[in-house]
Amino acid sequence: MQILLVEDSEADAFLTQAAFETLTVPPQFTVCADGLFAIEHLQGLLREQHPLPDLLLVDINMPRMDGFELIAYLKSSEELRHLPILVFSTSSAPQDVRRSYESHASSYICKPVSYPDYDRVVQAVEAFWMNTARLPS
């Protein structure tokens, strides 16, 4: 599985990838520091070297282009709107959760505050998104 992680915090990106590395079959990650870098990556000048991801983990609080703007862009693109988008944010604010779903995010996950909680969340993502759900190809 290919995951595009859109995350401006190097520490959070590291923790997320480290937690996924504990899985039996860890996914391959590409990390983009904000929405603009993610769009550049997804527009794919080198699509053969960088195929579309199977799903995206997107933070909402980022510089230049935040997660909401990225989701709006992806959902307006004929080529990219099918990609599952999991918002992965420190915010538990109801308005952020609502706005994410109104923007057609596939899921909203609050970032864990401890590594054991990261492990629990990653196992839940694996159980549903990697082992249960059928993803578009």
**Six-digit token pair at 86?**
């999991």
Alpha-helix runs per DSSP H in 47-93: 67-76
pTM for the model: 0.93
Q: For residue 5, what are the β-bridge partners?
A: 31, 57
Beta pairing, strands 55-58 & 28-32:
unpaired
Give the tens place of pLDDT for each residue, 5-55. Answer: 999 999 999 999 999 999 999 999 999 999 999 998 888 755 666 788 999
Phi and psi for 31 in degrees, rounded to 5?
Answer: -115, 130
For the chain, domain boundaries:
15-50+69-81+104-117
Phi and psi for 112 in degrees, rounded to 5?
Answer: -65, 160
Q: What pLDDT band is residue 137 in, cutting at 50, 70 and 90? A: confident
Nearest to 100 by CA among 69, 132, 134, 62: 69
Cβ-contact 3, 20 below 8 angstroms: yes
